[in-house]
C-alpha cells in the first residue's frame, strides 16, 4: 500500500493512502471529537464534529469521510472549529430531552463527554422538548428516543455486522426517528436477533439494557473489532 | 506561606432538576475550569443545599477564599441579567434578623465561631426565572452563563485571589 | 431508423400539417390544465366535429406557451398569416375563436383577448430549449421529428466521436442548469474518461424549489428533447443506461415521458442499436417520493438505487463513483434540453447567446408581484429590469420594486439598486444570490424580508433529511429565531446568535441543502438589515406583514 | 387600623409557606391555614419513563431526604418486579436508612431547632439565632456537625462516590459494603452515642423552661399512623401500617402496606397544592380523620423500640402522656427525634456485626411482573408513600407520591391555629407570634425544601384575615 505525506497541525506525517484523514489525525495522538464515527462501522459523516480546515480550501472537511491525500495541510483545532463543534453539541442537546441525572449512561455517555471536553456549559438554543415515547417492548433492551442523537451507529451495526437490518431510520429532518422493523414495537420484530450490538455501540442512553438504572450502563465497542477481525481476517482474539 | 493558602473553595448549591435553580452548579463548574486553566488550586463542592459541616471545609488551612455560587431569583422581565458578585461581610456585623436556614453567612459564622477561621468569601449569583421540573436553563439564565468571561473581566485582576490585607 | 427514414418521417408529418387551413393549438401543460385547458380543448374539437371540418381544421394539444397566469392559452395558426394567441380562453370563448377564424363570423367577444405578437413578453425572450414547446404535441413523436427532432442524435452518432461530442459541449460554454453552474462539457469529459465497466446517465427532474416549474414544463411540453439530449450524453460518455428522475408530484410529466420513451424505442431511437448504430441506450423513469433533498445528486442516486434518499459525502463524486459504484453523469433536465440544439446548430451558434462566461439562455419561472407571470426563457446576461419591467410588465398598481428572489431556498434577494445588472452566474453570486434552477420571485414594498427569509427557512427545515446535525437541528433553531424576530420577540442578541448559527450551518452541513439554507437570511440581512432591526428594536414591521406579539 | 407590613415575597420556586389566620366577627381566631405549593408537575415529569429510573429521579427531586425517596422508590420498584431482595441488600438498605436518620435528625435538632430550644422563645432576636447559639454553645454545635458527619459517612460508603446515582435499585442495591468500612463505622460509633446522650440530657434539662410551649404547641388529640414490625416494634424501613387513636387504642394493628388506600384517603383544598390525607374510616369533615406521622407518631404507636437504650428512653417518653394516653404535644417531636437517633445508632451497631452485610449477593433480577408497585417506608419526617403504575413493558403510566409533610398537613394547620389562639392579640403580628408559628411548623420538620435548596429555609408569610375576607395584617420573613 502506498503512503502519502501530509501536514497535520504543522507536523509532517505520513499515512497509508487508503486511510481516512480522521485515522491519520488519530494516529498522531490528536484528540478530535466524533459521535457518528465508530471503528468497525462504515463512515457516515453525519455528526460533523470531526471537521477540519485544509489549507487552500474554503470548505471544511469532515475528516472521517475524507481520504488522505498527498500534500494536504490540515488544521484540526482552531477557534472557528471549536466554536462550531460547540454549537453542534448544543444543537444536539437542545434537540431532544437529554436529562443526564436519571440517565443510565450518566458519566459514561459520549455526548456528555464530548460536551464536557468542548466546554459546553450552557445551551444557547431553545430546548425543543419533543414529546417522545420510549419503546420498552423488547425483552431485553429499551429504546429511548429522548436520548437519541441519530448517529445511526445502531442502524449500521445491525445492517453491516449483525446482518439483520432490524433498525433503520424513518421520517426526515427534525422528525427523524430510529425505528425497529417496519416501525413496529421492537418486541414484535421477528428480524431482531436480540444480539445487543446496537445497545453496545449507542453513544448515549438511547439504547440500554432493560432494568438498568442511572449511571449503570458502561458500553464496550471492542467486540466489533474482534468480530470483524475474526470474520474478515481470521484473526481470533481470545482475551 | 502565601502558596500554601492559595486554594479557592467553590461551594455551589442548587437543584439541577429544577431548571435555573441548577445554574449556580453550572457556573461553579465553569469557574472551576477557568481557574484551573490558570493553574490556580481549586476545590469545588456542589451540593443540593448548604449544610453545617461545610463550615469545617471552609475553615481548612489551605483555603484562602470561599466562593459561594447560587441562583438569584429575579422577576421575569427584569433587566438585571448579569452574573453578580458581592463580598460577604465578616460574620460579626451581619443583621440580627436572619432566619434559621443555612445561608452563606451562617456558614461563615460557623467557620468563625466553631473553627476559628474567617476566609475571604464572596457570593456569586446567576439570575434565574424558571424553576420548573427539568434540566436546562431559561434564555435569561443561559445568556448570563455565556458571559462568565465578561464577568471575570469586570472583577479586579487576579480575583478572587486578591490579597485582602497585608496582615501580619 | 436511419437518417433517410427520419427525414421522410419529418416530411410526411409536415405534409400532414399543411393540409389544414387552420390549426388551433391549445396549451396542455399543467398551469393551463388547472385553469380549464382540457375543457377548452374539448370545446375546440367539438366545434370542429359539429361543422364536419376535421379535414381542414385541427385542434392540437401542445406544450407551454409562456404567460401561464393568462391561461388557458390558444394559438391560432393559419397558412400565410401571423399566429394569434388568445388568453383566458373558456369553452365559450373557444367557440368564438372557431367562429372568427374558421367560420369567419364576427366575434366581438375576442376583442382584447389576443396577445400582440410584438408584446415585450415574447420579444425579449430567446427560446432555445422551449423553442418548440408551444407548437408541438408532446404526446406525438412525429410532431417532434417534424421540427427536426433526433437529427442531432443521428448527427452525433454518425459524424462525431464521443470525444468530439464532449468537446462540442465544452465549446458551447453551457453550464449546468440545476443551479450550481458547473461547466457541463467538463463533467461529460470526466465521466467519459472515468474507468468503469458500466456508466450511467441521470437526468435530474426532481425540481423542488417552491414556485419553480421549469423542469416540469419542459418534461411535459417537449419530452423527446430531454430524451434526445440524454441519448447524446449516453453516447458521449459511454453509458448504456439512463434514468430520468421525476419528482413524485409530476404525474403528467412522468406519463408523457413514459409515452415518449415507448414511442422512441418503437422507432429505434432508444433501446438496442440506436438509429441503427452500435450504440445501445435505454432510459427508465424513476419517480421520487416528494423529498426536496432528492434533488441533491447523491441523495437522488441513493433514491434511484432504492435506498433512503439521503446525501452521502463527496468525494467520491458521481462522475467517478455514482450509481452502484459506476461512473455516472448527472445533469438537470434543462441542461439535457439544450444538448440537441448545441449539436444540431453548433457550439458556435449556441455560444453566440449569453455572456462571456455564461452561454445560452435560461428558463425562469417568473412569479410574485409582477403583471405577467409565467415561464420565460431569456438570454443569459439580460438585466433584471428587462425581466421585471419589459417581460413582466412591471409591478401591479405601479408599486415600487423592492427585490427579486432567485434560486429559491438556496438563493437570495437582489434589491432595486441592482435592477440593471446582467443576470448571470457570477453576478448573481456576487450579489449574494444564485442563478439556481430558475425560480424568480418579484417582491414589492409590501413584502417583509424577515418574513420571506422565514418562509424559505421553514421550507428547508421541513425538507432537511436529518442526516447531519447542523442542518437537522440548525434549520429548526434558525426558523425559531426568525419566528421570534417576525413576532417582535427577539433581541439584538438573538440576531447575533442567528448570524453565528447561519455561518456554522453553511460551513459544516453535509450537502447543499444545509450549506445554502442560510442564504435567504444572509442576503436579506445584507440588503435589508434595517427591516430586521425595526422588528427587534421598534417592534414594528415596516412592510406591515408581520403580526407583532404583545411585548413580553 | 391594624398595622400592615407588606413585603413582596420573591421566593425561590414554590417553597414558601404562607400562613393565613382567619378571625371571626369577635376578632377571635376561627381558622388557620398553612398554604403550600409543592410537587406540582412532578408526576408528569416521570410519566413515560421506565420504572428503574425512578429511584434516581425521585432522589434528585428532593434534596432534603434523598435516601428516603430512593428507598421508597426502590421498594415500589421491587414490588413491580415482584422479587424479594437478597438478605444482604435488605440489611444494607436498612443501614443506609439508619444513617440517614442520624444525619437528618441531627440537623433538625442541633442546627434548626437549637436556637429555639437553647436560647428561649422570647429572648432578644438579635441573639436568638444560629450565631447566638454557636457563640454560646460552640461545643454543642460542633457535636451536631460530627454526628451528622457520622451519618453521612455511612451514606457515602454505601452510596459510592457521590449521592447522585441511586444506590438502591429495583431488586436490591448496586454495590456491596466493603469490609474495611465496617471498622471505620465501629470506630466512630462510641462518639456518636455520646453526642446523642448529651443532647438528650440537654433537652430534658430544658423541659421545665418550655412548659407553656409543650402545652400549647400542637397539643391536641389526634390519630397516629406509622409502620411497626409484625410484632409491634419500632420500624423505619419496612413493616405494617398501624393506626392509634387519641386514647391510645390501636384501631388498626397491622395493615399490609399494599392496602394503604383502605385507611388513607386524600382530600384537596383550593388554597394549597399539598394534599390533605386523612384517615379514611373517620372521614375528612371537621378534622375527624386528622393524623400525625413522624417521630412522635412512631414512638406512640410502637409497643417497644427493640433496642436496649432506645427502649429505656422510650419508657421515659411514655410518661409524658397523661394517664397512659399517647404523647400529644408536638413539642415532643424533639425528644422523639433524639430517641430515634439512639435507636438508629444501636441498629447500626447490630448490623455491622451481621456477617450478611458484606455479602456480594445484593441484587435480584427480574422483569415487570406486576402493574402496580407500592413502596412505603418511614422517612425521618414520617410515612413516605411511592406508588407507581406501569404498563406491561415497565413504562410509568402514573405516579402518586404521598410525602411525610403531606401526611402531617392537617396537624400543621391545627398547630398553627392553636398557636394563633394562644399568642395572637389583636391584629398585631408580634415577633413572638412569628417565632412561635415558625417553630410550630418546624416541629414537624416539614420538607418544603423538595424544591428550595437552603436547608429548612421557609420564607414565612403570615396574613391575618378578618371575617370579611380582608387582609388586616401581613408580615413576611425570609
How do residues C272-281 score in pLDDT, each as one tens digit?
999 999 999 9
Give the model's pLDDT for residue D124.
62
pLDDT digits (tens, 9 = 90+) for D17-64: 677 888 888 778 888 777 665 555 677 778 888 999 899 888 877 666
Q: CB-based contacts of C241: which residues, under 8 Å, 6+ apart? A: C198, C200, C201, C234, C281, C282, C283, C284
Alpha-carbon span C300 to C59, nearest angstrom: 39
Give the model's pLDDT for residue C178.
84
Kindly list the distances between the CA atom of residue D37 and the CA atoms of B6, D62, D267, D292, in Å, as whole numbers in the listed order: 44, 14, 15, 20
A77, A99, A117 - which closes a domain: A77
Give the mean model confidence (pLDDT) for residues C482-499. 94
The CATH architecture annotation of domain C361-444 reads Roll (3.10)
- B77 and C552 within 8 Å at the Cβ level: the answer is yes
**Which CATH number covers residue A55?**
3.10.20.740
- Are A21 and A66 in the same domain? yes
* Distance, C-alpha A127 to centroid of its chain: 22
pLDDT digits (tens, 9 = 90+) for B46-100: 888 888 889 999 998 889 999 999 988 887 777 778 898 888 877 765 554 444 5
**Chains B–D, number of C-beta pairs less than 8 Å apart:** 116
CB C128 within 8 A of CB C346: no
**Chains B–C, number of C-beta pairs less than 8 Å apart:** 3
Give the model's pLDDT for residue A46.
94
Give the model's pLDDT for residue D455.
42
Q: Which of C190-194, C311-315, D5-9 has the lowest mean pLDDT?
A: D5-9
pLDDT digits (tens, 9 = 90+) for C13-30: 999 999 999 999 999 999
Give the model's pLDDT for residue D458.
52
Establish if A239 belongs to a structural domain: no
Q: Which of D36, D34, D68, D64 is nearest to D385 (CA)?
A: D68
Establish if A122 belongs to a structural domain: yes
Please name the residues between 177 and 236 in chain A that touch chain C, using a CB distance below 8 Å: none
D377 CA to chain A: closest CA distance, Å? 21
**Which CATH number covers residue B40?**
3.40.50.1450
* HSE-CB for A73 with a 13 A CA cutoff: 5
Establish if B164 belongs to a structural domain: no
Q: Which of D399, D414, D359, D407 is nearest to D382 (CA)?
A: D407
- Which residues of A are less than 8 Å from D165 in CB distance? 106-107, 213-216
Residue C515 has pLDDT above 60, yes or no: yes
- Are A169 and A192 in the same domain? yes
Establish if A113 belongs to a structural domain: yes
Q: Which of C126-135, C288-297, C484-493, C543-552 has the lowest mean pLDDT?
A: C543-552
State which residue of chain B sits closest to D131, comparing Cα positions.
B109
Give the mean model confidence (pLDDT) for residues A81-110. 92
Give the mean model confidence (pLDDT) for residues A159-166. 95
**D5 Cβ under 8 Å from any chain B Cβ:** no
Low-confidence ranges of chain D (pLDDT < 70): 1-17, 35-41, 62-64, 120-130, 160-165, 216-217, 273, 447-460, 477-478
- Closest CB from C315, C497, C509 relative to A124: C497
Q: Which of D376, D378, D374, D238 is nearest to D299 (CA)?
A: D378
B8 CA to chain A: closest CA distance, Å? 20
Residue C464: all three cell numbers together = 432537511
- Are A160 and A182 in the same domain? yes
Domain C449-538: which CATH class? mainly alpha
Query: Could you give the 3-state DSSP secondary structure of residue D246?
Result: coil
What helix, strand, coil percent values describe chain C, rounded to 5? 50, 15, 35
- A174 and C473 within 8 Å at the Cβ level: the answer is yes
Give the mean model confidence (pLDDT) for residues C491-517. 94
- C465 and A172 within 8 Å at the Cβ level: the answer is yes
Alpha-carbon span A136 to A138, nearest angstrom: 6
Alpha-carbon span C329 to C189, nearest angstrom: 10
Q: Locate CATH 3.40.50.11540 in chain C.
A: 148-351
Residue B1 has pLDDT above 90, yes or no: no
Establish if A238 belongs to a structural domain: no
Interface test with B, best of D453, D461, D477 (most B CBs within 10 A): D453
Residue B2 has pLDDT above 90, yes or no: no
Write down all domains in chain D, each with its CATH number in brackets.
61-363+373-409 (1.10.645.10)
Q: Locate CATH 3.10.20.600 in chain C.
A: 361-444
Count of structural domains, chain A: 2
Establish if A209 belongs to a structural domain: yes
Give the mean model confidence (pLDDT) for residues B111-119. 88
- Are A219 and A134 in the same domain? yes
* pLDDT tier at A238, thresholds 50, 70, 90: low
C486 CA to chain B: closest CA distance, Å? 18
Establish if B165 belongs to a structural domain: no
**D136 Cβ under 8 Å from any chain B Cβ:** no
D178 burial class (0-12, 13-18, 19+ CB within 10 angstroms)?
exposed
- Are A7 and A99 in the same domain? no
Tell me if there are at least 3 CB pairs under 8 Å linking chains D and A.
yes
- A136 and D393 within 8 Å at the Cβ level: the answer is yes
Give the model's pLDDT for residue D221.
84
Domain that holds residue B43: 7-154
Alpha-carbon span D298 to D233, nearest angstrom: 10
Alpha-carbon span C310 to B145, nearest angstrom: 37
- D453 and B133 within 8 Å at the Cβ level: the answer is no
A50, A77, A104 - which closes a domain: A77
Would you identify the CATH topology of the domain C19-121?
Answer: Glutaredoxin (3.40.30)
- Which residues of A are less than 8 Å from B139 in CB distance? 126
Give the model's pLDDT for residue D4.
28
- Which residues of B are less than 8 Å from A123 in CB distance? 136-137, 142
* pLDDT tier at B10, thresholds 50, 70, 90: very high
Domain that holds residue A67: 3-77
Alpha-carbon span D478 to D475, nearest angstrom: 10
- Are A41 and A116 in the same domain? no
Establish if B159 belongs to a structural domain: no
Q: Which residue has the higher pLDDT, D466 or A117?
A: A117
Q: Which residue has the higher pLDDT, C71 or C480?
A: C480
- Are A48 and A21 in the same domain? yes
Give the model's pLDDT for residue D82.
93
Mean pLDDT value across chain C: 93
- Are A89 and A190 in the same domain? yes
**Which CATH number covers residue A197?**
3.30.70.20
Alpha-carbon span D90 to D96, nearest angstrom: 10
- Closest CB from D45, D111, D478 relative to B134: D45
- Which residues of A are less than 8 Å from C307 in CB distance? none
A59, A77, A95 - which closes a domain: A77
Kindly list the distances between the CA atom of residue C359 and the CA atoms of A185, C228, C350, C384, C425, in Å, as whole numbers in the listed order: 56, 20, 7, 17, 10
Candidates 3.30.565.10, 3.40.50.11540, 3.10.450.50, 3.20.20.80; CATH matching C148-351: 3.40.50.11540
Report the relative pairing of strands C374-379 and C361-368 from DSSP bridges. antiparallel
Count of structural domains, chain B: 1
For the stretch C497-504, contacts whose Cβ atoms lie closer than 8 Å and that sit 24 or more positions apart, written own/partner, are: C497/A124, C499/C525, C500/A87, C501/A87, C501/A125, C501/C474, C501/C477, C502/C478, C504/A83, C504/A84, C504/A87, C504/A88, C504/C470, C504/C474
State which residue of chain D sits closest to A103, comparing Cα positions.
D53
Give the mean model confidence (pLDDT) for residues A46-68. 95
Amino acid at each position: 500500500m502506498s503512503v502519502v505525506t501530509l501536514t497535520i497541525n504543522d507536523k509532517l506525517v505520513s499515512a497509508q493512502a487508503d486511510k481516512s484523514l480522521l485515522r491519520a489525525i488519530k494516529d498522531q495522538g490528536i484528540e478530535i471529537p466524533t459521535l457518528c464515527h465508530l471503528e468497525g462501522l462504515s463512515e457516515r459523516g453525519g455528526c460533523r464534529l470531526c471537521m477540519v480546515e485544509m489549507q487552500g480550501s474554503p470548505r471544511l472537511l469532515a475528516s472521517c469521510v475524507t481520504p488522505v491525500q498527498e500534500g494536504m495541510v490540515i488544521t484540526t483545532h482552531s477557534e472557528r472549529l471549536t466554536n462550531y463543534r460547540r454549537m453542534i453539541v448544543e444543537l444536539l442537546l437542545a434537540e431532544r430531552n437529554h436529562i443526564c441525572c436519571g440517565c443510565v449512561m450518566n458519566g459514561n455517555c459520549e455526548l456528555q463527554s464530548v460536551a464536557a471536553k468542548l466546554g459546553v456549559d450552557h445551551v444557547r438554543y431553545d430546548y425543543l422538548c419533543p414529546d417522545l415515547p420510549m419503546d420498552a417492548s423488547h425483552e431485553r433492551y429499551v429504546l429511548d428516543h429522548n436520548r437519541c442523537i441519530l448517529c445511526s451507529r445502531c442502524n449500521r451495526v445491525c445492517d453491516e455486522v449483525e446482518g439483520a437490518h432490524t433498525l433503520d431510520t424513518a421520517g426526515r429532518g427534525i422528525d427523524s426517528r430510529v425505528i425497529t422493523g417496519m416501525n413496529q414495537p421492537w418486541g414484535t420484530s421477528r428480524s431482531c436477533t436480540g444480539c445487543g450490538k446496537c445497545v453496545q455501540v449507542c453513544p448515549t442512553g438511547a439504547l440500554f439494557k432493560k432494568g438498568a438504572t442511572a449511571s449503570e450502563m458502561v458500553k464496550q465497542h471492542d467486540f466489533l473489532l474482534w468480530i470483524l477481525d475474526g470474520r474478515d481476517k481470521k484473526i481470533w482474539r481470545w482475551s | 506561606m502565601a502558596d500554601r493558602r492559595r486554594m479557592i473553595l467553590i461551594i455551589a448549591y442548587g437543584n439541577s432538576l429544577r431548571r435555573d435553580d441548577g445554574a449556580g452548579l453550572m457556573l461553579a463548574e465553569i469557574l472551576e475550569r477557568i481557574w484551573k486553566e490558570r493553574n490556580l488550586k481549586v476545590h469545588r463542592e456542589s451540593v443540593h443545599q448548604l449544610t453545617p459541616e461545610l463550615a469545617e471545609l471552609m475553615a481548612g488551612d489551605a483555603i484562602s477564599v470561599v466562593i459561594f455560587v447560587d441562583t438569584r431569583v429575579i422577576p421575569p422581565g427584569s433587566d438585571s441579567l448579569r452574573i453578580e458578585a458581592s463580598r460577604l461581610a465578616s460574620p460579626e456585623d451581619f443583621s440580627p434578623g436572619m432566619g434559621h436556614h443555612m445561608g452563606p453567612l451562617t456558614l461563615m459564622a460557623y467557620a468563625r465561631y466553631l473553627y476559628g477561621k474567617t476566609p475571604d468569601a464572596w457570593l456569586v449569583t446567576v439570575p434565574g426565572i424558571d424553576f420548573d421540573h427539568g434540566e436546562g436553563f431559561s434564555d435569561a439564565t443561559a445568556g448570563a452563563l455565556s458571559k462568565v468571561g465578561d464577568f471575570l473581566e469586570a472583577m479586579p485582576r487576579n480575583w478572587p485571589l486578591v490579597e485582602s490585607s497585608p496582615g501580619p | 431508423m436511419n437518417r433517410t427514414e427520419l427525414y421522410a418521417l419529418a416530411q410526411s408529418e409536415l405534409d400532414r400539417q399543411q393540409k389544414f387551413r387552420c390549426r388551433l393549438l391549445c396549451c396542455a401543460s399543467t398551469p393551463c390544465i388547472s385553469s380549464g385547458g382540457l375543457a377548452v380543448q374539448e370545446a375546440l374539437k367539438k366545434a370542429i366535429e359539429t361543422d364536419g371540418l376535421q379535414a381542414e381544421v385541427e385542434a392540437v394539444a401542445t406544450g407551454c406557451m409562456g404567460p401561464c397566469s393568462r391561461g388557458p392559452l390558444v394559438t391560432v395558426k393559419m397558412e400565410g398569416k401571423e399566429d394569434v394567441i388568445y388568453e383566458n380562453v373558456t369553452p365559450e370563448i373557444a367557440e368564438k375563436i372557431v367562429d372568427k377564424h374558421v367560420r369567419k363570423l364576427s366575434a366581438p367577444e375576442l376583442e382584447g383577448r389576443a396577445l400582440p405578437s410584438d408584446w415585450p413578453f415574447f420579444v425579449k425572450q430567446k427560446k432555445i430549449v422551449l423553442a418548440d414547446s408551444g407548437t408541438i404535441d408532446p404526446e406525438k413523436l412525429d410532431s417532434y421529428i417534424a421540427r427536426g427532432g433526433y437529427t442531432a442524435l443521428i448527427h452525433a452518432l454518425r459524424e462525431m466521436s464521443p470525444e468530439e461530442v464532449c468537446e462540442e459541449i465544452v465549446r458551447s460554454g453551457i453550464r449546468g442548469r440545476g443551479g450550481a453552474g458547473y461547466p457541463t462539457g467538463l463533467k461529460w469529459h470526466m465521466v467519459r474518461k472515468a474507468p468503469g465497466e458500466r456508466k450511467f446517465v441521470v437526468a435530474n427532474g426532481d425540481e423542488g424549489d417552491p414556485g419553480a416549474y421549469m423542469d416540469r414544463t419542459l418534461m411535459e411540453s417537449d419530452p423527446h428533447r430531454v430524451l434526445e439530449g440524454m441519448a447524446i450524453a449516453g453516447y458521449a460518455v459511454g453509458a448504456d443506461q439512463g434514468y430520468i428522475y421525476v419528482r413524485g408530484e409530476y404525474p403528467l410529466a412522468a406519463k408523457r415521458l413514459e409515452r415518449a420513451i415507448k414511442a422512441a424505442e418503437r422507432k429505434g431511437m432508444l433501446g438496442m442499436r440506436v438509429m441503427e448504430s452500435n450504440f445501445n441506450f435505454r432510459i427508465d423513469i424513476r419517480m421520487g417520493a416528494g423529498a426536496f433533498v432528492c434533488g441533491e445528486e447523491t441523495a437522488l442516486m441513493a433514491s434511484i438505487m432504492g435506498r433512503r434518499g439521503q446525501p452521502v459525502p463527496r468525494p467520491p463524486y458521481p462522475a467517478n463513483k455514482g450509481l452502484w459504484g459506476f461512473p455516472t453523469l448527472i445533469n438537470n433536465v434543462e441542461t439535457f434540453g439544450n444538448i440537441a440544439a448545441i449539436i444540431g446548430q453548433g457550439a458556435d451558434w449556441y455560444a453566440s447567446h449569453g455572456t462571456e462566461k455564461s452561454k445560452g439562455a435560461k428558463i425562469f419561472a417568473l412569479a410574485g408581484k409582477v403583471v405577467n407571470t409565467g415561464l420565460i426563457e431569456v438570454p443569459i446576461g439580460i438585466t433584471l429590469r428587462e425581466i421585471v419591467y419589459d417581460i413582466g410588465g412591471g409591478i401591479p398598481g405601479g408599486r415600487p420594486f423592492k427585490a427579486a428572489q432567485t434560486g429559491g431556498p438556496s438563493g437570495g434577494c437582489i434589491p432595486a439598486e441592482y435592477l440593471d445588472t446582467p443576470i448571470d452566474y457570477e453576478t448573481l453570486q456576487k450579489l449574494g444570490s444564485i442563478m439556481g434552477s430558475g425560480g424568480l420571485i418579484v417582491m414589492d414594498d409590501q413584502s417583509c424580508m424577515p418574513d420571506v427569509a422565514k418562509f424559505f427557512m421553514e421550507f428547508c427545515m421541513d425538507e432537511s433529511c436529518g442526516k447531519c446535525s447542523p442542518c437537522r437541528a440548525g434549520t429548526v433553531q434558525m426558523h425559531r429565531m426568525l419566528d421570534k424576530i417576525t413576532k417582535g420577540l427577539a433581541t439584538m442578541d438573538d440576531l447575533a446568535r442567528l448570524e453565528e448559527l447561519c455561518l456554522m450551518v453553511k460551513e459544516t452541513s453535509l450537502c447543499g441543502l444545509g450549506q445554502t439554507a442560510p442564504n435567504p437570511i444572509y442576503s436579506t440581512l445584507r440588503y435589508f438589515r434595517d427591516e430586521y432591526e425595526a422588528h427587534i428594536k421598534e417592534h414594528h414591521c415596516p412592510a406591515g406583514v408581520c403580526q407583532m406579539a404583545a411585548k413580553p | 387600623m391594624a398595622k400592615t407590613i407588606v413585603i413582596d415575597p420573591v421566593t425561590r420556586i414554590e417553597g414558601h409557606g404562607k400562613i393565613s389566620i382567619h378571625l371571626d366577627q369577635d376578632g377571635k381566631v376561627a381558622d388557620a391555614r398553612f398554604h403550600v405549593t409543592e410537587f406540582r408537575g412532578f408526576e408528569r415529569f416521570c410519566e413515560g419513563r421506565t420504572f428503574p429510573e425512578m429511584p434516581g429521579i425521585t432522589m434528585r427531586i428532593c434534596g432534603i431526604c434523598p435516601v428516603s425517596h430512593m428507598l421508597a422508590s426502590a421498594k415500589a420498584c421491587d414490588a413491580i418486579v415482584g422479587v424479594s431482595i437478597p438478605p444482604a441488600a435488605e440489611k444494607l438498605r436498612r443501614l443506609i436508612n439508619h444513617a440517614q436518620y442520624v444525619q437528618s435528625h441531627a440537623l433538625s435538632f442541633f442546627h434548626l431547632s437549637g436556637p429555639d430550644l437553647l436560647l428561649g422563645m422570647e429572648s432578644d432576636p438579635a441573639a436568638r439565632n444560629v450565631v447566638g447559639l454557636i457563640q454560646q454553645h460552640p461545643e454543642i454545635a460542633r457535636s451536631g456537625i460530627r454526628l451528622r458527619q457520622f451519618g453521612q459517612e455511612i451514606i457515602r460508603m454505601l452510596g459510592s462516590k457521590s449521592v447522585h446515582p441511586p444506590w438502591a435499585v429495583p431488586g436490591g442495591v448496586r454495590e456491596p459494603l466493603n469490609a474495611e468500612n465496617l471498622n471505620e463505622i465501629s470506630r466512630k460509633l462510641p462518639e456518636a452515642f455520646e453526642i446523642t446522650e448529651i443532647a438528650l440530657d440537654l433537652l430534658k434539662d430544658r423541659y421545665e423552661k418550655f412548659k407553656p410551649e409543650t402545652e400549647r404547641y400542637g397539643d391536641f388529640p389526634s390519630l397516629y399512623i406509622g409502620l411497626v414490625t409484625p410484632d409491634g416494634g419500632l420500624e423505619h424501613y419496612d413493616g405494617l401500617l398501624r393506626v392509634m387513636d387519641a386514647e391510645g387504642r390501636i384501631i388498626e394493628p397491622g395493615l399490609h402496606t399494599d392496602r394503604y388506600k383502605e385507611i388513607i384517603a386524600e382530600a384537596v383544598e383550593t388554597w394549597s397544592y399539598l394534599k390533605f390525607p386523612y384517615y379514611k374510616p373517620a372521614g375528612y369533615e371537621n378534622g375527624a380523620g386528622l393524623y400525625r406521622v413522624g417521630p412522635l407518631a412512631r414512638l406512640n404507636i410502637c409497643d417497644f423500640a427493640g433496642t436496649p437504650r432506645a427502649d429505656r428512653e422510650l419508657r421515659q417518653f411514655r410518661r409524658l402522656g397523661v394517664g397512659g394516653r399517647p404523647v400529644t404535644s408536638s413539642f415532643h417531636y424533639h425528644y422523639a427525634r433524639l430517641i430515634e437517633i439512639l435507636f438508629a445508632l444501636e441498629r447500626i451497631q447490630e448490623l455491622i456485626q451481621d456477617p450478611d452485610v458484606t455479602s456480594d449477593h445484593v441484587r435480584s433480577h427480574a422483569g415487570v411482573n406486576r402493574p402496580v408497585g407500592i413502596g412505603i417506608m418511614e422517612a425521618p419526617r414520617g410515612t413516605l408513600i411511592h406508588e407507581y403504575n406501569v404498563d406491561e413493558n415497565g413504562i410509568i403510566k402514573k405516579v402518586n407520591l404521598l410525602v411525610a409533610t403531606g401526611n402531617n398537613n392537617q396537624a400543621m394547620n391545627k398547630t398553627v391555629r392553636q398557636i394563633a389562639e394562644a399568642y395572637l392579640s389583636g391584629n398585631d403580628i408580634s415577633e413572638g407570634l412569628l417565632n412561635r408559628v415558625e417553630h410550630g411548623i418546624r416541629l414537624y420538620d416539614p420538607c418544603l425544601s423538595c424544591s428550595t435548596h437552603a436547608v429548612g429555609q421557609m420564607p414565612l408569610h403570615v396574613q391575618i384575615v378578618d371575617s370579611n375576607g380582608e387582609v388586616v395584617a401581613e408580615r413576611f420573613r425570609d
